[in-house]
Chain A
Amino acid sequence: MTSQNGSETRVKVENLQKLYPISRGVFRAPTDFVHAVDGVNFEIKAGQSLGLVGESGCGKTTTGRMLVKLDEASDGTILIRDSATDEMIDVTEINSKTEQKEFRRNVQMIFQDPYESMNPRRTIFDIVAEPLTVQNLGTTEEREERVVDLLRLVGLTPPEPFLFRYPHELSGGQRQRVAIARALVMEPTFVVADEPTSMLDVSIRISIMRLMLELAEELGVTYLYITHDLAVARYMCDKIAVMYLGKIVEMGPTEDLLTRPMHPYTRALLSAVPVPDPSYKRPEVEIEGGVARAINPEPECRFIQRCPFAQDVCRESPHPDLSERGNDHLVACHLVDPQGNWMGAERAVLDLRS
């Protein structure tokens, strides 16, 4: 893990929102919106990685896509430090082509699916060199050299035999290494990794994760690591943010968050981590159902429908703010006091499996 204490902020996201309109036909303006991402705030320091954890549909991928400008934010600001000028640049305000090119040099993304994230008609060289080609950087020979260097860096050695192969000739792990090489070819300072290991065989997962950590150390890359797997987040990240229905419900340093989870949702996620012990008795924090609909949500706590601890205060007050509960650990729950102590019922009595 790479933690440089007191280092500069590399990414700062404020009140990020993404609303998807639900079409009501051609002639009527949409009145209903899916609140995919709803007021997300976080900050990533240089050289640190933030893990964005949550179940499917909670908005973590949308957040990542907005950070690399694949989706436009509906509201809020995304400030990313430009490596060349060392200024914080608001991603949502980037419009001109030159600004966009500058931004693409600085921020890259690694995609989830190594099978689909490469054009089947292009060779590995074409794929890795594409950022250089579209930005018109270097001569062909220089690009070739750079690609060879990067393939070696991501562990595809010897790199030359890989250059003119097609993606379908490579295994999943090899492809993901190529994808990492493509993301790093421009020497970005910030990389959004969208579940880069979830499609991989368990046996190669760890080697890919180790590679990403080594590269972060070597090249000074900051990751936003999107995953649904707490174990992966623990291995990869300095900080973890747990997302639920478009909002971050808990955020804190990895070890602190995992050993001292405060939000009922985080506790439920942790209790769902399988333990390889048949006699292990699971703690009784269970949540029911799937993620609720995020269409025009009520102002009350987002988690209320699935929270076994919900009290009157949760129903009457608006969604709680994400606030500090000591040790840089932020929680959005009415039932956690400012010192981080649990004020709700000791355990939930709901038996949801019946």
Chain B
Amino acid sequence: MVIKDQDSTEVLEPQIDGVETVELAEGELPESLLRVRLKLGWAGFKKNWKLFSENKLGLVGLGVILLFALMAIAHPIMRSVGPWQDDNVYDPVIGFSAPVTDFEVVATEADVVDPDSQIDQVTAQLWCFGSVAGDICSINQTPAPPSADHWLGTDPLGRDIASQLTFSTRAAFLLGTIAAVVTVAVATTVGAIAAFYGGWIDNFLMRLADLVLLLPLIPILIVVSGLFTVTMPLLGVLIGILSGFGGTAIVLKSQALSVKVKPFIDAARVSGGSNMHLIFKHVIPNVLPLSFLYMMFTVTEAVSLEATLSFFGLINADMTWGIMLSTAQTQGYLRSGLEFWWLLIPAGLAVSLLAAGFFFVGRAMDEVINPRLRSR
């Protein structure tokens, strides 16, 4: 057998030994093509899963993503049949709940003997306007620390943190999914078309990609949010386009170039395939694994970008992790350190963990797609 340099094709064939395929006995035709394809797809999935599961970090990432998925599902369940049914208490946006403490109003600050039950007259005006010494002033305690009713406490406006956290998970997944799908669609199409046609089309698209790559993402999004009302789906599309047109398109174009010169492209052309057939049936399927990898990194980027923009109050959304952090900041709790940890840690950790989860999965997928990175 001719010894061939498999280096170039390796990237395209995430396959290992002991391949499982659908085997047909002699004279037996498959009952339906769709079923055979599903079986083949399942066999391919099992094979790649075996490779993926060898990477512990990837499994951790997948576990984290699943955990967040459970959280996203948990919110509507808790709100409809679980313990969070009360709209006035557990609504992530307009809910309110605070333990009430009665304070005895005293004349001056010097008269306060027990700060847990007494309050001076001047300070008391903040809560009980017009109160004088001797009155009783009832104060709603916000933010409240974690308790049996509020597992992660309440925020400075008396809203339940646990409810907000799980509610925001859905938005994060929605944003990540939209950004990822748009990135893959834009990057593979742009990359494949640039590589396939070459010439001025290639030049135009790649210079555009360079331009997008050079644009600073956050300032651009800040400007865009000033001009338009940026909702979460729109943000997803924006991030998808910006990241899909930039670096990802360039990487996919280089991969598509190596596919384009393969003889099977010529073979398909001789079969009568049009340019569109060649691009969508031959070039794109062969760059798609790489594009899935970049999809994971886009999700990571989108999750952290959303937190950044929400933190500055630039996103039009009911509740997100970034808005939770933003609330803590605008109410002045950001610099109070860990005294009010439940305002910062849950949302901050959620952003970092979900971003890290997708990143780890991306790294593990990289090993499946790119055999040179495998430890064996």
User: A residues near B, CB below 8 A?
Assistant: 65, 68, 70, 97, 100-101, 104-105, 108-109, 111-113, 115-123, 130-131, 134-135, 140, 144, 148, 158, 160-161, 163-166, 168-169, 171-172, 179, 182, 199-201
Contacts and interface: CB of A to CB of B under 8 A. Distances in A.
B154 to A, nearest CB: 53
Nearest to A141: B29
Contact of B24 (A109, A112, A118, A160): A160
Query: Which 9 pairs show the lowest CB-CB distances between chains A and B?
Result: A158-B26, A104-B272, A131-B271, A117-B263, A160-B24, A119-B264, A134-B273, A116-B263, A109-B270
A201 B4 CA distance: 13
28 contacts: A70-B266, A70-B270, A97-B274, A100-B272, A104-B271, A109-B270, A113-B263, A116-B263, A118-B264, A120-B13, A122-B285, A130-B268, A130-B271, A131-B271, A134-B268, A134-B272, A140-B33, A144-B29, A148-B29, A160-B24, A160-B27, A163-B24, A163-B30, A164-B21, A164-B40, A168-B15, A199-B2, A201-B2
Given A134-B274, A160-B24, A112 B1 contact: no
Given A101-B272, A104-B271, A117-B267, A172 B24 contact: no
Contact of B2 (A104, A168, A200): A200
B1 A172 contact: yes
A120 B283 CA distance: 11
Nearest to B15: A168
Contacts of A169: 19, 21
A157 B279 CA distance: 33
B229 to A, nearest CB: 42
Interface in B239-277: 262-264, 266-274, 277
Contacts of B269: 70
A68 B270 contact: yes
Contacts of A182: 267, 271
B160 to A, nearest CB: 49
Contacts of A131: 271-272
B36 interface: yes
A100 B262 CA distance: 22
A12 to B, nearest CB: 20
Contacts of B33: 140, 144
Residue of B21, B268, B269, B271 contacting most chain A CB atoms (<10 Å): B271
Contact of A201 (B1, B23, B267): B1
A211 B271 CA distance: 21
Nearest to B264: A119
Given A101-B272, A131-B271, A116 B264 contact: yes
B2 A116 contact: no
Nearest to B22: A164
A116 B26 contact: no
